[in-house]
């Protein structure tokens, strides 16, 4: 059963944006509201659930440039249904085939399916199926989904509510990128020319350890002063669990160690590398013995670090 979603009179008001808002501003407003009113965050809160449905439906309209243009032109209403103005661009000019003499009055079309009327006209002329040219495809439905970095790397399966109120089982492929839109063909609203698609915009939550730099996965790896000077084995986190690394002797902060096959996945599921940048870290709390040693060293063996180019 598909549940109807009651939109606000104006989807711009539903998302809290101006009518001249850019696509980026609309997307940003939707993301902010989605995080606040998502059903997973407000379990059992019917008001938030209804708000999520309304603002998802508003984004479904305003997030599609073609639908937004039609809404702004008055060709469709806030629910995506065609208005009488949509039929007013006919060969006779003026209103819906009908502010001209001899034409139909616009009110004559109320409650009448023009697809049926035009389809019968062409079929009676022997048009060989041309009536199908007037059938419209079902609308696309949209959803936004925030996932963890590990889920983006390894893929995941989850249930997700869409803007039309339905909940679908969704498979997130390995290697999905932040901002990428996944398309589920034929999972949108029904239509005479077939159903639309379900569109899922992916967001990847910030990770406390790893960060993306282009196509690379990067982390900062703290190492002690003795391990940096003498070398040693240290434990490093990876998306697949901790591993042990060998830190070479005389390693300065900024030196990078490469962990093969522990980075991001591409669209074919192939894993890239994880880059661990060493950060030489003093002990906490400060060690008086280390301070005494450093003072002696500064006096007897002063040196000036050279800036790396």
Beta-strand runs (E) in 91-155? 141-147
What are the sequence ranges of the domains in the chain? 11-134, 141-204, 210-300
Domains 141-204 and 210-300 share a fold: yes
CATH of domain 210-300: 2.60.260.20
> What was the pLDDT predicted at 238?
92
Q: Which fold has domain 11-134?
A: Helix Hairpins (1.10.287)
Long-range residue pairs from 287-294, CB within 8 A, at least 24 positions apart, any chain: 290/225
> What was the pLDDT predicted at 99?
40
**The tokens of 297 are what?**
């060293």
Task: Please compute, for residue 95, the number of CA atoms within 13 A of its CA located in the half-sphere on the CB side.
Answer: 14
> What was the pLDDT predicted at 9?
62
> What was the pLDDT predicted at 116?
44
Which DSSP letter does residue 165 get? S
**Which residues are CB-contacts of 183 (< 8 A; sequence separation ≥ 6)?**
197, 198, 199, 200
CATH of domain 141-204: 2.60.260.20
Task: Specify the residue for token string 């591993």.
Answer: 243
pTM: 0.52
**Distances in whole angstroms, Cα of residue 180 to Cα of each of 2, 148, 172:** 27, 14, 11
Helix (H, G, I), strand (E, B) or coil at 168: strand
Tens digit of pLDDT per residue, the chain (309 long)?
333 334 346 888 888 888 888 988 888 888 888 888 877 777 777 777 788 888 888 888 888 888 888 888 887 877 777 765 555 554 434 444 434 333 333 333 344 444 443 444 444 444 444 444 446 788 888 888 999 998 988 889 988 888 778 888 899 988 888 888 999 998 888 888 888 888 999 999 999 999 988 778 999 999 999 999 999 999 999 998 999 999 999 999 999 999 998 988 876 768 889 999 999 999 889 889 999 988 998 898 888 887 665
Q: Which residues pair with 142 in a beta bridge?
A: 199
Beta-strand runs (E) in the chain? 141-147, 156-161, 167-172, 181-184, 198-204, 210-213, 216-224, 232-236, 243-247, 256-259, 274-281
Instruction: Give the Cα separation of 239 and 223 in Å (integer).
Output: 20
């Amino acid at each position: 059963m598909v549940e109807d979603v009651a939109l606000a009179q104006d989807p711009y008001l539903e998302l809290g944006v101006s009518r001249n808002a850019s696509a980026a501003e609309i997307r940003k407003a939707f993301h902010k509201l989605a995080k606040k009113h998502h059903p997973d965050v407000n379990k059992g809160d019917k008001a938030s659930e209804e708000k999520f449905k309304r603002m998802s439906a508003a984004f479904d309209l305003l997030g599609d440039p073609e639908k937004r243009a039609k809404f702004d032109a008055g060709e469709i209403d806030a629910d995506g249904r065609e208005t009488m103005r949509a039929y007013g661009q006919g060969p006779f000019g003026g209103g819906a085939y009908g502010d001209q003499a001899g034409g139909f009055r616009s009110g004559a079309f109320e409650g009448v399916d023009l697809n049926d009327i035009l389809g019968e006209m062409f079929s009676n002329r022997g048009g060989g199926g041309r009536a199908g040219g007037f059938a419209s495809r079902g609308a696309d439905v949209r959803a936004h989904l925030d996932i963890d970095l590990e889920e983006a790397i390894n893929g995941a399966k989850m249930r997700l509510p869409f803007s039309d109120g339905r909940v679908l089982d969704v498979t997130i492929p390995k290697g999905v990128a932040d901002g990428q839109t996944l398309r589920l063909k034929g999972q949108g609203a029904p239509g005479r020319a077939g159903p639309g698609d379900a569109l899922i915009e992916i967001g990847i939550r910030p990770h406390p350890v790893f960060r993306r730099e282009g196509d690379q996965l990067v982390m900062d790896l703290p190492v002690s002063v003795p391990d940096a000077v003498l070398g040693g084995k240290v434990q490093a986190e990876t998306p697949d669990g901790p591993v042990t690394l060998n830190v070479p002797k005389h390693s300065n902060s900024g030196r990078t160690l490469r962990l093969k096959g522990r980075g991001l996945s591409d669209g074919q599921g192939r894993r890239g590398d994880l880059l661990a940048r060493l950060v030489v870290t003093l002990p906490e709390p400060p060690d008086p013995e280390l301070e005494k040693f450093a003072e002696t060293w500064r006096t007897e063996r002063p040196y000036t670090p050279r800036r790396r180019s």
